[in-house]
A and B are shown apart, each in its own frame.
Chain A
């Protein structure tokens, strides 16, 4: 697992928000698995950063949590997107797309031949 990249600082929050938008209310384990799956198992969600990140999002009011029961009848804490979270997701996604577009254009610039 050493060759799997840890999630970049700052992008985890965005991934969490997107995951909750796509999947609806979900517990921490589910979120982690989903992010790992989407990344094609290239990313490894460090659990020690996942829970503080969830807490931070909750403190900022972007997500909400409540205890529920999982598919296999296990008690689990479920997180869900709030209205503010939805807005924040749209905003951050837009910003990311812009940033990556710019970078992409930069990197596809043909090399000068001299």
Chain B
């Protein structure tokens, strides 16, 4: 405390120098006088007394100096002095200051923009109060990693709280919103009535759900999201009590949630009560729900996990079939939202902009060194006046940091703009894992920017300052000192440029690999001709289409309508088309083989299709026959297998005529005969490993979901509208989604990654530009400093060709070295990118040769301007100037 007080007083002392200097002088003077008087009293002569006093006093000036140091904070004094001096120096060279500050601003701005985004998706993707008290509870299917919880299991877990204050469930709900004269497919969420209180949220208007609204028949209440309220009700504050029609049922609006409430993440518009039907209350296999719980005040996630898993172990014994191949997962909600994948992407992007900043720092360090020659005299004079090296170092580094602060301030402004650009250009599916409304430059971003600014200032400043103060005695005051060719300063500049080139190579190779990887993804199913393929997902409301004959009647009717549309070559349907997130799994048992325990049976993807499916999708048949009108329920069950499945299950033999059975937890099918082999199709954009598909005829195996496909050479918006109309003519209250061409489907699914690839390419371009500027400035200044050398050589008979060789030789070596290091680094780092996205390989010959070639060209181009200048040196002019 006392020390702090003293520190404060000393801080204050910095501003009262004049007055206390005079006071000290008076005090010392009175001290001397008293001493003299006493000595005189003791018998000395006045002269002797004075001499004795001054001797004893030990030097008035030294005493004053020591006093001054105690009075204020000398290091702060020095710092302020350095800052004032630095500011003067920066003002004196506006060109240098502007270029250097802008370069840093670019690097810092890019970093703080990306940091804001990375921080959002990794640390605070959603704004919920007490987020760390919320846990996600789900069953995980170990084979597919499918996640969710079945209604009956949820209700069992909820019945015994296990350290949870509450456990709420939710389920996405596709519905048709209809009003007089129109209808629209919308997505909402069905939630248990304790959902809002479990998440700790209060409505903006009205109320949330009452407990009795969870009973079937009483669930006609709806809570609107802020966006729905604003877009459809224009933010009407009297909206509570009004009615909307969803799936032909009337719902009363009971409340509106505030804008910051976006749970679960995604583009849904409203919440309605989740009323379990008696059938649902016993459903244990369908993972239809998501569950979120709030920890009781004393409980920890670990305790709760252990308790719930004990309960789960009991359920496993009670219902071995329904729980087969599943585990219970209890994790903090944040971990459920933030996937490792998101973290890796955040790191990747931060790495990219980190490289950009390093290159920017390299350039600024280069600029500092470029100015070093002109400041030799200044430093020499200060040295000869007694400045120590540490003091000079401090001053030069202060200058660099001050420059970085200017750059950081501009960079911060840039990042406000950058975050705005991100928010408006990010693909909408980013909303699935973060709330974009929360994307902004917040306190954490500010701190990050501040730290980064200092780091950048030090990075750019320390090496040049070290260099400049190194041989400050040598040749300092001589004018010719500046013209000694290729000193140490130059070596450092070359090292910097080499480093910049290496980093630029890494960035460009990385972005090149990503862009190339997308091309691979898009051409994964080359036979598809995705431009002429239209897909449409239809959600049949179970209330009216629960029986399989109702669904069959609908789909038959729709298929015949779709086939008759103009320019449609063929139409078909499947339980899930490729790239539609359809991902079912079933075990198969092969007739005539040793009976394996069910856990060891091979897994395949069952897919029900209509006869025209293979023709429509352009899937070639390798062997056997397609499905046709013979394959009806009354006939023997048949199947077509994919090539990979055939090779996997019947290696070296033809599967035609073989029999198998499909085993699901609940039942086992009869014998199914394989009648055909279809060529492989990739269902997942990012995971190409799984290709075992078991096609079943639609008539014999009614699908749980329906994706219609159309093949037409004229698949424009017109056809999409006609397809929608065809559905609505049959039943206007059927929600349709993903009505799009296969090309659009692929584009939508890869939009996030394409965005990242574009960002990387953009930053790669910035890196390229900065590196080019770096190369140019080094060569230019080298030529400048060597003018007299070149002139002498030319006077002695060197040809312009020789001069060119002289200038280029070094630079070519440097570029080659930089590129070599870059390629090595890229080889070491690109497996990170490769691990992130399927289709991106860590090695690609064209990229690994093309990118360095491009950089070599750019470097050569940057060298050519100063090199030409060197060739035009006029020896007479230069030497006369000497």
Contact = CB atoms under 8 A, between A and B. Distances in A.
Contact of A75 (B30, B56, B70): B30
Contacts of B70: 52-53, 55-56, 59
A27 B63 contact: no
Q: Is the interface of B mostly helix, strand, loop or mixed?
A: helix
A29 B30 contact: yes
Contact of A47 (B26, B56, B71): B56
Interface in A47-93: 47-49, 51-53, 55-56, 58-62, 70, 72, 74-77, 84
Contacts of A32: 31
B5 A74 contact: no
B347 to A, nearest CB: 49
A46 interface: yes
A48 B27 contact: no
Nearest to A30: B34
A55 B38 CA distance: 25
A74 B70 CA distance: 26
A44 B63 CA distance: 15
B71 A55 contact: yes
B31 A48 contact: no
Contact of A28 (B27, B58, B62, B71): B27
Interface in A80-114: 84
Interface string B29-53: 0110111011000000000000000
Nearest to A51: B67
B829 interface: no
Contacts of A48: 57-59, 62-63, 66
Contacts of B2: 60-62, 84
Given A52-B69, A60-B2, A29 B34 contact: yes
B26 to A, nearest CB: 7
Interface string B1-34: 0110110011001000000000110111011011
B30 A27 contact: yes
B30 A77 contact: yes
Contact of A51 (B5, B37, B63): B63
A61 B63 contact: no
Contacts of B26: 75, 77
Contact of B28 (A51, A60, A74): A51
A71 to B, nearest CB: 10
A76 B34 contact: yes
Contacts of B31: 27-29, 32, 47
The contact size tier of chain B is: 20 to 34
Q: Is the interface of A mostly helix, strand, loop or mixed?
A: helix
Interface in B54-112: 56-59, 62-63, 66-67, 69-71
A51 B58 contact: no
Contacts, number: 76
Contacts of A56: 6, 70
B67 A52 contact: yes
A87 B752 CA distance: 69
Contacts of A1: 56
A74 B30 contact: yes
A46 B31 CA distance: 13
Contacts of B13: 59
Contacts of A58: 9
Given A29-B35, A70-B34, A59 B58 contact: no
B34 A59 contact: no
A60 B3 CA distance: 7
Interface in A14-63: 27-29, 32-33, 44, 46-49, 51-53, 55-56, 58-62
A56 B7 CA distance: 10
A1 B70 CA distance: 27
| Most chain A beta carbons < 10 A, residue from B6, B33, B34 | B34
B24 A51 contact: yes
Given A29-B35, A47-B58, A59 B28 contact: no
Nearest to A77: B27
Nearest to B13: A59
A56 B66 CA distance: 11
B24 A60 contact: no
B66 to A, nearest CB: 5
Nearest to A53: B70
A52 B27 CA distance: 12
Contacts of A77: 23, 26-27, 30
Nearest to A88: B2
Interface string B314-357: 00000000000000000000000000000000000000000000
Contacts of B62: 48
Contacts of B57: 47-48
A23 to B, nearest CB: 15
Nearest to A75: B30
B37 to A, nearest CB: 6
A58 B62 CA distance: 20
A28 B56 CA distance: 14
A59 B5 contact: yes
Contacts of A49: 66
A62 B1 CA distance: 13
Contact of B5 (A29, A33, A60, A72): A60
A58 B27 CA distance: 15
Nearest to A57: B6
Contacts of A74: 30, 33-34, 37
Given A48-B58, A70-B34, A59 B63 contact: no
A75 B814 CA distance: 74
12 contacts: A47-B56, A47-B57, A47-B58, A51-B24, A51-B66, A55-B70, A56-B6, A58-B9, A59-B10, A60-B6, A74-B37, A84-B2
Interface of B: 2-3, 5-6, 9-10, 13, 23-24, 26-28, 30-31, 33-35, 37-38, 56-59, 62-63, 66-67, 69-71
Given A27-B31, A32-B31, A52-B66, 20 more contacts: A27-B30, A27-B34, A28-B31, A29-B35, A33-B38, A46-B58, A47-B57, A48-B59, A51-B24, A51-B66, A52-B67, A53-B70, A60-B3, A60-B5, A61-B6, A72-B37, A74-B37, A75-B26, A77-B27, A77-B30
Interface of A: 1, 27-29, 32-33, 44, 46-49, 51-53, 55-56, 58-62, 70, 72, 74-77, 84
Q: Which 8 A-B pairs have the closest CB atoms?
A: A52-B70, A48-B63, A59-B6, A59-B9, A29-B34, A29-B31, A60-B2, A60-B6
